[in-house]
């Protein structure tokens, strides 16, 4: 099983509280990419908010601090304009899909890895923000805030 998913879903404290560094340093960059693919699928499928946010933050940290720092990939590259525009207009899921598609077609490079890290970083906070909005709107005592 994917060690990242196992860490996220485990109820055992020694597994749940493992450091991301210990998980990432034990595998090659190629294996990290494979784990990230599985983690992305898990992130999209899970209904558990905690699991979704933690998976998104794991993806951010792996891309930003482990894959980005790896000398395994070209340090120069291009990012697609559509993905960049999606990122600027806060369409983080679309930006991630665009960057991942280009990475599969042309291979990874530092620019794409950085763009993915940035997208995941913003997406994690967008997920939390949306949950707070739903919670605030669901409380009848807060209805006055939404009157025009």
Tens-digit pLDDT string for the chain (148 aa): 899 999 999 999 999 999 999 999 989 998 999 999 999 999 999 999 999 999 999 999 999 999 988 878 888 889 999 999 999 999 999 999 999 999 999 999 999 999 999 999 999 999 999 998 888 888 878 777 777 6
With beta carbons less than 8 A apart as the criterion, state whether 120 and 59 touch: yes
Report how far residue 37's alpha carbon sits from residue 47's, in angstroms, rounded to the nearest whole number.
18
Query: What interhelical angle do 92-106 and 81-88 show, nearest 10?
Result: 160
| 3-class DSSP state of 91 | coil
What pLDDT, on the 0 to 100 scale, is given for residue 118?
97
Which distant-in-sequence residues (6+ apart) come within 8 Å of 109 by Cβ? Answer: 73, 74, 75, 76, 77, 78
139 Ramachandran zone, left/alpha/beta (phi>0; psi -120 to 50): beta
Tell me how far apart the terminal alpha carbons of the chain are, to the nearest angstrom.
51
- The structure's pTM equals 0.90
């Amino acid at each position: 099983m994917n060690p990242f998913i196992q860490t996220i879903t485990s109820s055992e404290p020694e597994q749940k509280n493992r450091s991301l560094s210990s998980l990432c340093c034990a595998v090659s960059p190629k294996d990290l990419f494979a784990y990230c693919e599985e983690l992305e699928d898990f992130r999209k499928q899970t209904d558990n908010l905690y699991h979704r946010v933690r998976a998104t933050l794991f993806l951010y940290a792996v891309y930003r601090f482990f894959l980005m720092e790896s000398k395994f990939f070209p340090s120069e590259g291009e990012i697609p304009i559509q993905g960049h525009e999606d990122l600027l207009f806060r369409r983080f899921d679309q930006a991630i899909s665009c960057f991942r598609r280009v990475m599969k077609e042309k291979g990874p490079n530092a620019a794409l890895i950085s763009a993915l890290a940035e997208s995941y970083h913003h997406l994690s906070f967008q997920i939390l923000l949306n949950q707070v909005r739903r919670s605030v709107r669901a409380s009848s005592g807060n209805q006055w805030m939404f009157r025009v």
